[in-house]
Amino acid sequence: MLKQQFNLKLSQKLSPQQIQLMKMIQLTTLDFEQKLQNEIEENPALENGKEEIDSLDEYQEDYNDNEVIDTQEIDIDAYLSDDEIPSYLLNSNNYSADDEEKTVPITGGIGFHQHLKVQLSSLILTPDEERIAEFLIGSIDDSGYLRRSLLDIMDDLAFTQNIIVNEEQLEFVLEKIHSLDPAGVGARTLQECLSIQLSRKQLSVPQIMASKIINEAFELFSKKHFVKLQDKFDVDEDLLKQGLKEIERLNPKPGGALSGIFQNTHIVPDFILSIENGILNVELNRRNAPELHISSSYKEMMKGYKEAPVKNKSQKEAVQFIKQKLDAAQWFIDAVAQRYQTLYLTINEIVKQQEAYFLSGDELQLKPMILKDIAEKINMDISTVSRVANSKYIDTPYGTKLLKSFFSESLTNEDGEEVSTLEIKKILKTLIEKEDKRKPLADLALSEELLKAGYRVARRTVAKYREQMDFPVARLRKEL
């Protein structure tokens, strides 16, 4: 049986302009620059750089001719005025032309995957094999591993590249990729990754031992069953130690170092923090908020239209086009100003909240701070602060940091003081690094050590923090 119901629901709907503004706030400096360049290229009414200011008369006449545009529809004076946005809102800082230009250097480089593709020219491959190799390289993750099954890759090659290949052919090309640098790239498992690296070495006795451990007893190795390894290979503890030392020198994430270098070299900090006489100064990266203005030639067109004694249909169509471009340009200028204002308020409040850390560089000085704390202080929505914190970097005397890293929950110590979970993690990290590796501390023992230091942290919480810091359980941290 069909029923009709009437429900009254209150909901908030963002306008397309608001959505665009939110996206603009989230953009990194490099992405914002690209967005800016695209906007300037697409809208001739928008210009970048210092504006040549001409004196413009104020016009108040109305046009009532039916053949022309009604001034109630288009306020031409609004497009001739320079009073809409204060210029300081469009600059990243109040510098004079004589001030020293401050730039943040960016190291050049190519991406990790591009680095692999460049090496393909050194391999002997048919055109089809080269296309397969490029596809395989594109499927390698940033750690250097091929996580997808060969059957899935075969299907994708057939559907997207129209290349029909069997598993044997795919294995052949993958073996070629295994010869690329860094050693171990393209491996499907940790065992294969370490095995590839060992196969490239001039095998000494310790390296032969390491190769046997990885290729013949990987499960025993991964579970740290050292006595069983000695029994299996009938070797003494010293030789086993040498073999394990060789394995420690291998890279479990062959793509990690390269991808980190290539990606980090392209990080342009959105903010620059400096300390002068114990006072913190933070500013937006100067390249982040360039000067924008409405094209003077488009203003002249509007001025000419207003002064024309007779206006025909083609002029009306032209001024409609100009109006659209001017409206879009003005909205973009307003959005850039709003982006700047949002970033400025957010970063200043973060620096204010974490002043002790920024003055010392000591992570133990980081205060508990959540997104809501900043949002309430600057009277903005939490989602807006999140967009800034998750995508923006600040250049400090202690390195370039993601804003998100300054946020943490709090716990209460024995004195009843709130402390940052980052502080507890740092102490936990020190405990694990300094433990006796023959008898590593279990999570319960770590919890007890933290209690001695004045921090009451449950074993389950210790386990969570340990996993977040990529430390394995005690059994897997054991060494000879």
Q: What is the pLDDT of residues 298-346, one digit of tens each?
A: 767 766 666 666 667 777 777 778 778 888 888 888 888 888 899 999 9
What does the pLDDT average to over 257-272?
Answer: 62
Answer for the pair 443, 469: CB distance below 8 angstroms, yes or no. Answer: no
What does the pLDDT average to over 10-30?
Answer: 72
pLDDT band at 355 (very low <50, low <70, confident <90, very high): very high
- pLDDT (0 to 100) of residue 73: 46
Does residue 78 or residue 159 have the better pLDDT? Answer: 159
The pLDDT tens digits of the residues spanning 134-188 come to 989 888 888 889 988 888 888 888 887 788 889 899 999 999 999 998 889 999 9
What does the pLDDT average to over 433-451?
Answer: 88
Of 351, 186, 173, 151, whose CA–CA distance to 271 is shortest? 351
Pairing, β 279-284 against β 271-276: antiparallel
- pLDDT (0 to 100) of residue 108: 45
117: Cβ contacts below 8 Å, ≥ 6 apart: 134, 137
Single pTM value for the model: 0.51
Three-state SS annotation for 152-167: HHHHHHHHHCCCCCCH
Answer for the pair 48, 27: CB distance below 8 angstroms, yes or no. Answer: no
* pLDDT of 8 over the 80 cut: no
What does the pLDDT average to over 354-380?
Answer: 87
- pLDDT (0 to 100) of residue 171: 92
CB atoms near residue 296 (< 10 Å): 15
- pLDDT (0 to 100) of residue 7: 60
Beta bridge partners of 47: 293
Of 227, 211, 250, 239, whose CA–CA distance to 438 is shortest? 227
- pLDDT (0 to 100) of residue 155: 86
What does the pLDDT average to over 65-84?
Answer: 43
* pLDDT of 216 over the 50 cut: yes
What does the pLDDT average to over 402-411?
Answer: 81
Ordered DSSP codes for 355-382: HHHHHH--GGGPPPB-HHHHHHHHT--H
d(C-alpha 367, C-alpha 354), whole Å: 6
Amino acid identity for residue 445 in this structure: A
Ordered DSSP codes for 171-215: HHHHHHHTTSSSTTTTBSSHHHHHHHHHHTS---HHHHHHHHHHH
Helix (H, G, I), strand (E, B) or coil at 136: helix
d(C-alpha 425, C-alpha 142), whole Å: 26
pLDDT band at 102 (very low <50, low <70, confident <90, very high): very low
